[in-house]
Each structure stands twice: as C-alpha cells, then as structure tokens.
Structure 1
Amino acid sequence: MSVITEVRISSDDFELGKILNLEGASAIELETLVPSGNATVPLFWVYEPIRDGFLDTVERYPTVNSVTAVDEFEDRTLIKLDWDASQDHLFRCILEHDGQILSATGSPKEWNFEIRFSERESLSQCQDCCADAHITLDLTRIYNPVDPKVGPWYGLSKPQREALTLAVRMGYYDIPRGCTTAELADELGISDQATTERLRRAIGAFTRHALLTPDQMA
C-alpha cells in the first residue's frame, strides 16, 4: 500500500532551497510540475513582491537554465523555473525511489513537502539516500491514504483548495478574524454567498477524506 509523508527540510540542505532563498518573502508554494522536453519544470507562487534583481540572481545559478515570471499580482508572482533537478540530491533521492511530490511550501529557513511513495520501504530507502547526501529529513507525519480515489488533495476541488487556502492566509479562521467572507469573495471574484458555500463544502470534503475512515463515514 502507498504511504504519504510530510517532511520538513532546512532550505540550506538542498539545491532548490538555496536557489529560491527569498529573504522577505512570506512563502513559496509549488503550484504544479509541468513536463518540458526531458525535464519536469516547477511553477511556484512567491508571496509578497519579489525583490529587484531576484530573477537575474536565480538565472545566474549554475544549475538554472531559465527562470520566468509567468504572472504577477500585487501580493504574489508565479515563477517558472527550468533547472537541472538531477543536481539536486533531494529530488534525485525522491525520484530514484519512485516518490511523487504532492505539495511543497518554502520559506527562507525551511521547506515542507508532502510526498507519496509506493510503499513504506521506498520511503525508508529515500531517507537513507538523503542521509548519505547529508540531507536531514524531519518526518512530521506518515500515513496511508484513506481512499485512493480522492487523489492527493483529500477530495478538494481546485476552487475549494483556492478558497480554503486564501481563507487561512487572510486570517479568516483566526481569533479575532482577520477578514470577512465579503473580503474573501472580492479576492476570489465570486459572491459572498458562493464563498461561504465553497468554504463549507471544502471543510466537509477535507474532514471526510483526511480525518475519517470509511467505517466512520458509513
């Protein structure tokens, strides 16, 4: 049975963490991995405006072929990074042991990855590979998917993920609240009522697929 692990890694321990060392950025989030020739190119959201010269600095990195700002907004920039992942020991260890990166978020100090392996033995082998490369993996959670049909996002649709992630970032679930559903609705470009309904459905889907077993849902 496949196993999913959540891992925390120091930004200084792997190549990509060093490349995207963004002082002043609140977060970096993997949007997707897209095929490009023989390589897999990541798209990242960088939150907070990126500093002047950042793209030029990244492109001068020896393992980087190109870096492009795909979309720019007031609070975030979508970056496409074409780099030689084979020179990154972390990614090499993950790929060599059939790991699949489901999500990744980073900061100047550390990154958090969610990775799926076909079996627990593959995860153990990946850990050994990283240890040999002097990469310290802090495994914060290991679990088996409750229902493989729901995919890596716990049954959440892309609009639901977007709404729930935005609500957390804007402090909607903080005490006191950092924003209203009306403010979330403005960001999402939908009505206040639609935002409330989307969040309700997102929380329901996440709870069913991430916290409950099939027996508990029966």
Structure 2
Amino acid sequence: MPVVTDISLSGDSFPLGHLLELDDSFTVEFERLVPTGNAVLPFFWVPAGSVDAAVEALDDRSLVASVEVLTEVENRALLQVEWTDAVNGVVDALLETDGAIVSGKAVRGSWKFRLRFPDHYQLRQFTALCTESDVAFDVEGVYNPHPPGDESRLTSVQWDTLMAAHEKGYFEVPRRATLSDLAAEFDVSEQAISQRLRRAMNVVVAGLAFGESDAPGA
C-alpha cells in the first residue's frame, strides 16, 4: 500500500541548494512529478525578479546539463532543468525507490518535501540510501496511505520507534529485541515505548484495513 511522508532537510543537502544562497527571501516550489531518469525534478518555480540570477547560478553547476525559462505568470517564473548523470543523493534515492514528489518547496534556507512511495519497504530503502550518501533529513510525518488529516498521521517519534522495533527484530518470532531494549535506545520507560508502538500500529493497521485511521496521532 502506498505511503506518504513529509521530510525536511538542509539547503545544501539538495542539488538546488545553491539557489537558496542568492537571497534570504528566495523561494523554490516544485511541480508534482514522478521521477524518471534525468527528468527528475525538471520543473520548478522561482520568483520572477530572481529568474536571471537563478538561471546564471544553474548554468554554472556541473550537475545541470541545461536550463530554460518556460513561462512567467504574475510574480513567478517556471524553469525547466535537465540534469547530468552526476546527480546523486536525494535524487538518486528517489529514482532507486520509485519515489514521487507530491509537493516540495524551499524557504529560508531549508527544503520541505512531501514524498509518496509504493510501500513502506521502499520508504525504508529511501532512508537507507540517504544515510549511505550522508544526506540527513527529519521525518515530520508519515501517512498511511494518504494524508487526509492529522488523525491518520504517524508522528516522527512514532515512525522512528516503529522502524527501530522492526530493524532490531521486535516483531520477529522469536523476538530479537524486547521493550526494554527499545526503551534503552530511546532513553524512555518501557511503558512509553509500548504506548508509542500501540498508537503507531493502530494508525498503520487502520490505514491498511480501511484506507484511513480513527486513531489519534499523538
């Protein structure tokens, strides 16, 4: 079942990060797209008043094969970029896991993305690939299978706890990890870990069974 996650990462963790250095108020907003080859993230909006500086900055990057201004609408300009084969990091991770950018923007030096993956396995693979590439990001929410509202949202703490439990073998038979092991890793009580896992599993199971959740996201 598809899974959606919200992540945030620093400006320099993404191929377009240098654009954020042009001006403190510079913003970038991506067009929704499923990445395919070097066509990944080809369309994005920048402020019309900064379009010349943005094009010049992109032309000067080895990761960019070409850049073109497609149109200007009101105070925004739509750019199209073709990447070289050298692009890596988050982009490579998206390509490897069939990830799709539902929405994305950059404001005040950081990136925020809503990503969709075919299933939880591909999301875990995306996380692993980013870790291998030394790309750090924060998980701000995980939705299963879509984000209709806060009631179906896994918090970042719930997601981290659920993933740690899975990776350490808490759900295996026989178990390779106990509540005590997980509690020690997160430096909380066993009761706190148990509550996190129950709430997270409630959201996940309700999403799988009904396509939404009545469970609280706290």
User: Does the Cα contact within 8 Å between 2:27 and 2:105 map onto a contact in 1?
Assistant: yes
Match of 2:95, SS state, is helix
Match of 2:8, SS state, is strand
Alignment of 1:59-74 (within 5 A): 59-74=59-74
The amino acid across from 1:99 in the alignment is: G
Compute the displacement of 1:67 (Å).
1.1
Pair 1:78–1:24, CA change in 2 (3 A) = farther
Match of 1:112, SS state, is strand
User: Does the Cα contact within 8 Å between 1:25 and 1:46 map onto a contact in 2?
Assistant: no
Q: 1:161-201 CA deviation, whole Å, 9 max, x = no partner?
A: xxxxxxxxxxxxxxxxxxxxxxxxxxxxxxxxxxxxxxxxx
Compute the displacement of 1:97 (Å).
1.6
Give me the CA root mean square deviation.
Answer: 3.2
Whole-Å separation in 1 of the counterparts to 2:36 and 2:83: 11
Q: 1:23-45 CA deviation, whole Å, 9 max, x = no partner?
A: 24442111244999963452111
Match of 2:50, SS state, is coil
- 1:23 paired residue number: 23
The amino acid across from 1:62 in the alignment is: S
The amino acid across from 2:142 in the alignment is: I
Whole-Å separation in 2 of the counterparts to 1:25 and 1:49: 12
Q: 1:114-170 CA deviation, whole Å, 9 max, x = no partner?
A: 1111111211121111111111111101011259xx9xxxxxxxxxxxxxxxxxxxx
User: Does the Cα contact within 8 Å between 1:25 and 1:47 map onto a contact in 2?
Assistant: no
Whole-Å separation in 2 of the counterparts to 1:103 and 1:40: 13
Match of 2:23, SS state, is coil
Pair 1:143–1:128, CA change in 2 (3 A) = same
Give the paired residue count.
153
Q: 1:25-68 CA deviation, whole Å, 9 max, x = no partner?
A: 44211124499996345211113620644312211211111111
- 1:138 paired residue number: 138
User: Does the Cα contact within 8 Å between 2:28 and 2:106 map onto a contact in 1?
Assistant: yes
The amino acid across from 2:64 in the alignment is: V
Whole-Å separation in 2 of the counterparts to 1:36 and 1:121: 20
Unaligned runs of 5+ in 2: 149-210
Match of 1:15, SS state, is coil
User: Does the Cα contact within 8 Å between 2:32 and 2:101 map onto a contact in 1?
Assistant: no
User: Does the Cα contact within 8 Å between 2:97 and 2:122 map onto a contact in 1?
Assistant: yes
User: Does the Cα contact within 8 Å between 1:19 and 1:61 map onto a contact in 2?
Assistant: no
- Percent of residue pairs identical: 32
- 1:188 paired residue number: none
- 1:206 paired residue number: none
Whole-Å separation in 1 of the counterparts to 2:109 and 2:117: 26
